[in-house]
Amino acid sequence: MSSPLDVVNAAHNAFRHDIAAIDAAALGAAQGKPGLEATVERFHLFNEVLTWHASGEEAGIFPALEPVAPSVVTAYEIDHRGLDLAFDGLSKAVSAHDPLGTARATAAFKFHLDLHLFKEETHLFPIFEERLSRDDQGHAVGALGSAVPPDRFPDFVTWLFPLVDDDDREKVVRFFHMVVPPGPFEGIIRTVKSAIGDDFAELARRIPELTTT
- The residues near 62 (Cβ < 8 Å, ≥ 6 apart) are 73, 76, 77
Q: What is the pLDDT of residue 14?
A: 98
Q: What is the pLDDT of residue 94?
A: 81
Q: What is the pLDDT of residue 213?
A: 60
Residues of the chain with pLDDT under 70: 1, 212-213
Q: What is the pLDDT of residue 61?
A: 96
* Digit-coded pLDDT (tens) for 96-140: 888 899 999 999 999 999 999 999 999 999 999 999 999 999 999
What long-range pairs does 27-31 form, CB within 8 A, spacing at least 24? 27/103, 27/106, 27/107, 29/99, 29/102, 29/103, 30/99, 30/100, 30/102, 30/103
Q: Give 121's DSSP letter.
A: I
Phi-psi region of 149 (alpha: psi -120 to 50; beta: other; left: phi over 0): beta
Q: Which of 209, 205, 167 is nearest to 186 (CA)?
A: 209
Q: What is the pLDDT of residue 37?
A: 75
- Residue 6 Cα distances to 135, 140, 199, angstroms: 15, 13, 20
